[in-house]
Structure 1
Amino acid sequence: MPPPDGHPPAGRQRWRQRCCRWLRPWSDSLWSRLAWVLGLGMLITQGVTSSVWFDLRYRHAMEMPIRLVSVQLADTLRTLELASALPAAQQLASLESGQFQLTLRHGPMPSGEDPDDLIRSVEDILNQSLSDRLGVQRHAQVLAAELIDDHGRTATLWRLLAAREPVGHFRIAVPLPAQPGQWLEVVASEAQGGIEAEPVSMIIDYVLRIYVLRILLVIAVALLAVRWVLQLMRRLAAAADALGRDLHRAPLPEDGPREVRQAAQTFNLMQRRLLEDRRERTRFLAAVSHDLRTPITRLRLRTELLPSGPLQARFRQDLEAMEQMVSSTLDFMRGEEHAEARQKVDVNGLLAGLRADFEEAGAKLALQGQARLPLSAYAASLRRCLQNLLENAIRYGGAAEIHVADSARELRIAIVDDGPGIPEESMELVFEPFYCVESSRNAELKGSGLGLSIARSIAQAHGATLELRNRSPRGLEAVLTIPRI
């Protein structure tokens, strides 16, 4: 009984949790779940239909003994008809054997009401065989039929599998047309007529061919069909992943079955709507930014008319911050677009050019390592990403180092500085637009808060990862990892 509060007992809940933990790795994908459903469904279906096989096996085990009994019974009836002058007891004694007992009964035959299917089937075989051998229609009545296994026990459906040569025991009532009011009771036992079945081989054959082989074939065919059907889902998943990196990717082909075409059309419609929404947002922000430049320019001109002093300096500083924010916003929107085409980029030449530009501006920049092969990338976007990371490192650390590590699977570019670092709780927040950490970085070097946002957006467009980690005892490391595969 569940507790009064309606929750299951603790033991049952723990058992359920253990089962869920064990099944989770085996049911994590749609393919594995379909395999479970098909496999369990086949086992349940096979378990239900196995009763039919066992029943047929049982009937087959009874068929050979009753046919052998019918042969002996037909010979007995023919002999009794030919030797009708002999006393009945003498006739029966001469025809009996240890496995074939005859008794003459007086009175009406047993009614044999409501025989089961097995007895009715055995009776049909017996009467057919008697009629064929005697040449006339005879109707014997099977009063009892039973199979005995090798140990003398009643051979149930399961014991029958372990019996090498089961024996059929029968009790039969046969009317005697020449002697009205009398009938012959036959008690006979017969084996399989020398046909033996190896129990172990029979079980192995049944399990392998009926269970294992059939289930494996059905599951294999079904999973191949499911795999073919699920190609749409895999294609949609791959398209969604590519769309997250490049909104300008080629649309899905709208071919195949009707449902596939509808799904592809819906996906392409979503892509077009996203593109239009982004273009509209970009146009809006570009228009606002462009309109803001006019009053900023007018304010800058009016600032020059102010008397020289602290007030004029503060006005200039605020106007420069506003202009920088407008420019950074436009750069951010352009950074999200990535409308350029991928091409083979000489990473070593790109880094060398960035190093020369920063050194020309008076910054200290060291470069270690090199890329072994060109990289498939968006050239201008990749340059902007690395430039933003280097600007942050030089702004807050005074100098920077670039460490390049290349392999067949990925290209790793680490940019290291000796600045104050970033608090651990703000390590992900700094990638948000317009977020600045002024508690750990120099407030006098305040930026727009868009450099890292643009850098991560470009990294994601390349299918790459951009991570920040603090160094010990001070400094920050920005690691850009770009997959080559």
Structure 2
Amino acid sequence: MRLAERLVPRSITTQITGLVAVSVLLGMIVTVAIVVLLYGTTPPDDSPPAVASRIVRITQFVKAAKTPAEADIVLTAVRNAGVRVDQVALSELEPLPGGAGWPWWTWPLLQQVRSAPGVEILDRRYPAGPAQQLVVRRDAGHALVFDAATDASPWRLFLTPTALILTIVLIFVLLLSIYAVRWIIAPLAAVAAAAQSFGRSPQDVQPIAGGGPREIAQVADALNEMRTRIGALLDDRTRMLAAIGHDLRTPLTRLRLRSERVHQDKLREGMLADLANVERMLDETLDYLREDGRSEALSRVDLPSLLQTICSQFVDVGHAVAYRGPGKLVWTVQPRALTRAVTNIVENGVKHAGTVTATLRGRADRIEIEVADDGPGIPAELRERVFEPFFKADAARTQDGGGFGLGLSIARDIVQRHGGTISLANRDPRGLKVRIHLPAGAGRD
């Protein structure tokens, strides 16, 4: 087994070259075998090439005779050999009946006879001659009528040596190409699929198999090493974020306690508001960077209940947020992640508008969540940039408090993890609409 594995070429170039060489070699071997079995070493006497060659030779011998007696001797010898040929006067011939002609697969016979020097085929027939006959001019007053019956069936035409070689080589190339797709292309497709899904599926932690040609195995090993390095970097970032969360919240808590001791009401309220703003920005940044939401399992939830809960939370603190949509619609999502995404969008709306409406629409293959407000909207040239981390479209949406501009970035990241899309559009006459489209996961009830 090890010897066989060593003999197998490892590079893509040698494998493809070997497949082509094996295809051609096998095609030629099978073609030679079929030709020998079907035709033997010489073509049969009733094949179109043999019949055409016999007609040409006899005609040339008869026309080469110096006297009519010599021509009669040649014809007698030909008839004694079993070949039917009649010598008739041109006046005994009659025109071919309308529509009569040779089958299309006998055209090579006619072409071979016409191409011979000194042989002229007449478009006439001898009434007393054979059913399949070919009339050839002998001299100015006579013609030779040959029995041109052949086995010129269509399968004989397609089983000529040239056609056999092309057909069989094509079959072997096709079969070996299908095998090559499984042997060469399949490992490459697996590597591409693993590279595309890396970082998008929490369960995708298995190493990439290094099968297939040497180049693909090298790419798989490099990707596995890259995934290991990225995993180590993510672990370091997680530990760093935990340290930041602990080290920053402790002094913020002390500052809040000290601020509450300030006797001046206006100063105390301003300091507490600033501290709350800093803590909110810290939470927003940590939410954007941490990986907790990426590892959340998919589950089937009732989306109307989820959206109504989000709207109720904002209504409880005095915001005008309403839900519109069906009373029940079950979909497969990451519940906590989707709640965070919609909450960020609604929170962005209540900061810059008076009323916000969350609308749910469902189809068989996807759902749409639309969050609309009556704020100032966002210019078209900034609708893509607002999804960038730490970008705030202050020129379009009035700034109210702090924030690092990560709300929409987090929302888009969550939507894309669900395989969906998120887009912005201005309302008429004013306002902004945020549309989320999520494809079907496990299906809907």
Q: Do the two structures share a fold, i.e. TM-score over 0.5? A: yes
CA spacing shift, 1:473–1:225, aligned 2, 3 Å: same
What RMSD, in angstroms, separates the aligned Cα atoms of the two structures? 4.9
> Contact 1:438 / 1:446 at 8 angstroms: preserved in 2?
no
What is the deviation of 1:337? 4.9
1:400 and 2:325 equivalent? no
Q: 1:384 aligns with which of 336, 340, 356?
A: 340
SS for the counterpart of 1:338 is: helix
> Contact 2:52 / 2:113 at 8 angstroms: preserved in 1?
no
Q: 1:221 aligns with which of 175, 185, 210?
A: 175
What is the deviation of 1:355? 2.6
> Which structure 2 residues correspond to residues 286-305 of structure 1 after superposition, within 5 A?
286-305=242-261
Which AA in structure 2 matches 1:422? I
Mapped to 1, the partners of 2:73 and 2:430 lie a distance apart of 102
CA deviation vs aligned residue, 1:229-254 (integer Å, no higher than 9, x gap): 32233333333333242255242563
Which AA in structure 2 matches 1:477? K
> Contact 1:412 / 1:480 at 8 angstroms: preserved in 2?
yes
Partner of 1:234: 189
Partner of 2:376: 420
Higher alpha-carbon Rg:
1
Partner of 2:200: 245
Which AA in structure 2 matches 1:425? E
> Contact 2:361 / 2:369 at 8 angstroms: preserved in 1?
yes
- Structure 1 unaligned residues grouped into runs of 5+: 1-33, 47-52, 74-90, 102-132, 134-158, 171-189
Q: 2:277 aligns with which of 316, 321, 331?
A: 321
1:482 and 2:435 equivalent? no
CA spacing shift, 1:210–1:341, aligned 2, 3 Å: same
Which AA in structure 2 matches 1:270? M
Mapped to 1, the partners of 2:235 and 2:409 lie a distance apart of 19
What is the deviation of 1:205? 7.5
1:431 and 2:387 equivalent? yes
Mapped to 2, the partners of 1:372 and 1:98 lie a distance apart of 104
Partner of 2:410: 454
Which AA in structure 2 matches 1:233? L
Mapped to 1, the partners of 2:268 and 2:394 lie a distance apart of 25
> Contact 2:277 / 2:402 at 8 angstroms: preserved in 1?
no
> Contact 1:161 / 1:202 at 8 angstroms: preserved in 2?
no
SS for the counterpart of 2:198 is: helix
What is the deviation of 1:422? 1.1
Which AA in structure 2 matches 1:231? A
Partner of 2:294: 338
1:163 and 2:107 equivalent? no
What is the deviation of 1:400? 1.4
SS for the counterpart of 2:295 is: coil
Partner of 1:368: 324
What is the deviation of 1:370? 2.7
Mapped to 2, the partners of 1:267 and 1:211 lie a distance apart of 44
Mapped to 2, the partners of 1:446 and 1:207 lie a distance apart of 83
Mapped to 2, the partners of 1:256 and 1:364 lie a distance apart of 59
What is the deviation of 1:480? 1.0
Mapped to 2, the partners of 1:348 and 1:235 lie a distance apart of 38
Which AA in structure 2 matches 1:225? Y
- Structure 2 unaligned residues grouped into runs of 5+: 1-15, 29-34, 36-41, 76-80, 82-106, 119-143
> Contact 1:371 / 1:406 at 8 angstroms: preserved in 2?
no
> Contact 1:397 / 1:417 at 8 angstroms: preserved in 2?
yes
Q: Count how many residue pairs are aligned between Structure 1 and Structure 2.
A: 349
Q: 1:96 aligns with which of 53, 60, 70?
A: 70
Mapped to 2, the partners of 1:219 and 1:406 lie a distance apart of 49
SS for the counterpart of 2:356 is: strand
Partner of 1:442: 398
CA spacing shift, 1:310–1:253, aligned 2, 3 Å: same
SS for the counterpart of 1:458 is: helix
Mapped to 1, the partners of 2:427 and 2:386 lie a distance apart of 17
Which AA in structure 2 matches 1:241? Q
CA spacing shift, 1:300–1:374, aligned 2, 3 Å: same
Identity %: 29
What is the deviation of 1:314? 4.4
Structure with more contact order per residue of length (Cα contacts < 8 Å, sep ≥ 6) = 2
SS for the counterpart of 1:385 is: helix
> Contact 1:162 / 1:200 at 8 angstroms: preserved in 2?
no
Mapped to 2, the partners of 1:94 and 1:439 lie a distance apart of 113
> Contact 1:161 / 1:199 at 8 angstroms: preserved in 2?
no
What is the deviation of 1:227? 3.4
Q: 1:285 aligns with which of 230, 233, 241?
A: 241
CA spacing shift, 1:266–1:373, aligned 2, 3 Å: farther
CA deviation vs aligned residue, 1:77-135 (integer Å, no higher than 9, x gap): xxxxxxxxxxxxxx98686218969xxxxxxxxxxxxxxxxxxxxxxxxxxxxxxx9xx
CA deviation vs aligned residue, 1:430-468 (integer Å, no higher than 9, x gap): 112221111222223443311111111111111111111
Question: Normalising by the residue count of structure 1, what TM-score does the alignment of the two structures yield?
Answer: 0.58
> Contact 1:336 / 1:454 at 8 angstroms: preserved in 2?
no
1:357 and 2:291 equivalent? no
What is the deviation of 1:62? 7.7
> Contact 2:324 / 2:358 at 8 angstroms: preserved in 1?
yes
> Contact 1:401 / 1:416 at 8 angstroms: preserved in 2?
yes
> Contact 2:351 / 2:400 at 8 angstroms: preserved in 1?
no
CA spacing shift, 1:252–1:92, aligned 2, 3 Å: same
What is the deviation of 1:161? 7.2
> Contact 1:367 / 1:401 at 8 angstroms: preserved in 2?
yes
> Contact 1:371 / 1:405 at 8 angstroms: preserved in 2?
no
SS for the counterpart of 2:323 is: strand
CA deviation vs aligned residue, 1:41-62 (integer Å, no higher than 9, x gap): x9xx99xxxxxx9xx99xx948
Mapped to 2, the partners of 1:192 and 1:276 lie a distance apart of 90
SS for the counterpart of 1:440 is: coil
> Contact 1:335 / 1:454 at 8 angstroms: preserved in 2?
no
Mapped to 1, the partners of 2:373 and 2:171 lie a distance apart of 62
